[in-house]
C-alpha cells in the first residue's frame, strides 16, 4: 500500500502562466515552454459560447494537450464567485491528483489582478498538498503605453494603478499627488471620468487604449474629441498629471 508521502510525490504541478495582453507573440520563452510541456491547459471560459481571450492567445502554441475551460462569472456577488472558484479548484485538483501537470493560462501577468490568484488560494485552502509555480508575463499597462509610444514613468514619477473606479472622489484625491494614473476597465464609468478630467484640464494628457496589442486594438486621443465612448471590458486609461515632460 502506498504511503501518504508516495501519494503526494505522484501529484501533478499547477503552474500559473502570465500570457500577456493579447498578442500571442508576446509570450515569454518560459511561458511557451510551460504551455508546450503541460498535460492540461486550463483557462477562463469565454462568454456566449465563444473562446475567451486567454484561449485565443495560447491556441497557436498548443499541440494535443487537454484543454480545460473553467467558469469564472463576471459578477460581484461574493457567494457566487466563491462557488465558482471552488468548482474550478476541484476540477483542477482532479487532474493534479492523477499526476497530470496543469498550466493555467491567464491574460497579462499572473500576479496582477489575475483570476489565477483566486484559483491558487482555493487550492491551497482545500488541498494543502498542492504544488504551485508561477511564471510572470507582460501586464496591460506596459502593453498600453507601448502602443501609445510613451513611457509609463520617468524620473521621479509616482505611479498609481486602480482596477476600477466607482467613486470619483477617490480618483480626484489620487490625481492631487500621483504623476501617472492607470485606470483598468474604465468602460462603465468613462463619462464620469471624462467630466472630471475636463474640469482638471487633463484631457490632453490622457489616453484610452482598447484591446491593447490585439488586431482590434483602438486608441482614443485626444480625449477632448471623445466625451462619450462605448468601451468594452478590456479598456484602459492612462493619465499623466505630473510635471515631468514627455520625450
Domains of the chain, residue spans: 4-135, 140-240
Grid coordinates representing 21 are 495582453
148-to-56, 118, 162, 221 alpha-carbon distances in Å:
24, 31, 19, 10
Q: What is the model's pTM?
A: 0.88
Query: Can you give the pLDDT at residue 88?
Result: 94
Query: Can you give the pLDDT at residue 245?
Result: 63
Query: Can you give the pLDDT at residue 165?
Result: 72
HSE at residue 173, side-chain half, CA atoms within 13 A, is 6
Return the residue matching grid coordinates 468601451.
231
Query: Can you give the pLDDT at residue 47?
Result: 85
How far, rounded to the nearest angstrom, does the alpha carbon of residue 230 sit from its chain's CA centroid?
21
Query: Can you give the pLDDT at residue 148?
Result: 94
Query: In angstroms, how far apart are the furthest CA atoms of the chain?
Result: 73
* CATH number among 3.40.190.10, 3.60.20.10, 3.30.950.10, 3.50.50.60, domain 140-240: 3.30.950.10
Cα-flanking dihedrals φ and ψ of residue 48, to 5°? 60, 35
136-to-6, 13, 101, 106, 174 alpha-carbon distances in Å:
31, 17, 18, 10, 28
Topology of domain 4-135 in CATH is Cobalt-precorrin-4 Transmethylase; domain 1 (3.40.1010)
- Per residue of the chain (247 residues), give pLDDT as tens: 344 444 455 899 999 999 999 999 999 999 999 999 999 999 999 888 889 999 999 999 998 899 999 998 766 677 887 888 899 999 999 999 999 999 999 999 999 999 899 999 999 999 999 999 999 999 999 999 999 999 999 999 999 999 877 688 899 999 999 999 999 999 989 999 999 999 999 999 999 999 999 999 999 999 999 999 999 988 999 999 887 767 6
Let me know how many helices (H) and strands (E) the chain has, helices first: 8, 10
Query: Can you give the pLDDT at residue 84?
Result: 86
Query: Can you give the pLDDT at residue 247?
Result: 66
Query: Can you give the pLDDT at residue 3?
Result: 43
Average pLDDT, the chain: 91
Percent of the chain with pLDDT over 70: 94
Amino acid at each position: 500500500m502506498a504511503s501518504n508521502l508516495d501519494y503526494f510525490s505522484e501529484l501533478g504541478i499547477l503552474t500559473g502562466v502570465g500570457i500577456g495582453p493579447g498578442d500571442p507573440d508576446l509570450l515569454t520563452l518560459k511561458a511557451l515552454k510551460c504551455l508546450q510541456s503541460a498535460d492540461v491547459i486550463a483557462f477562463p471560459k469565454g462568454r456566449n459560447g465563444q473562446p475567451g481571450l486567454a484561449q485565443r492567445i495560447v491556441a497557436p502554441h498548443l499541440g494535443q494537450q487537454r484543454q480545460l475551460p473553467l467558469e469564472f462569472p463576471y459578477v460581484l456577488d461574493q457567494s457566487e464567485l466563491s462557488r465558482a472558484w471552488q468548482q474550478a479548484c476541484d476540477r483542477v485538483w482532479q487532474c493534479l491528483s492523477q499526476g497530470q501537470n496543469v498550466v493555467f493560462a491567464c491574460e497579462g501577468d499572473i500576479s496582477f489582478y489575475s483570476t489565477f490568484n483566486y484559483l491558487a488560494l482555493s487550492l491551497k485552502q482545500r488541498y494543502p498538498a498542492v504544488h504551485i509555480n508561477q511564471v510572470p508575463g507582460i501586464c496591460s499597462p506596459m502593453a498600453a503605453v507601448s502602443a501609445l509610444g510613451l513611457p509609463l514613468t520617468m524620473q521621479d514619477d509616482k505611479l498609481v494603478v486602480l482596477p476600477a473606479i466607482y467613486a470619483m472622489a477617490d480618483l480626484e484625491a489620487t490625481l492631487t499627488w500621483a504623476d501617472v494614473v492607470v485606470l483598468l476597465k474604465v468602460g462603465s464609468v468613462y463619462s464620469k471620468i471624462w467630466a472630471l478630467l475636463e474640469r482638471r484640464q487633463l484631457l490632453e494628457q490622457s489616453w484610452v487604449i482598447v484591446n491593447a496589442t490585439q488586431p482590434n486594438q483602438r486608441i482614443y486621443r485626444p480625449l477632448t474629441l471623445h466625451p462619450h465612448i462605448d468601451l468594452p471590458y478590456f479598456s484602459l486609461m492612462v493619465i499623466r498629471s505630473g510635471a515631468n515632460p514627455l520625450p
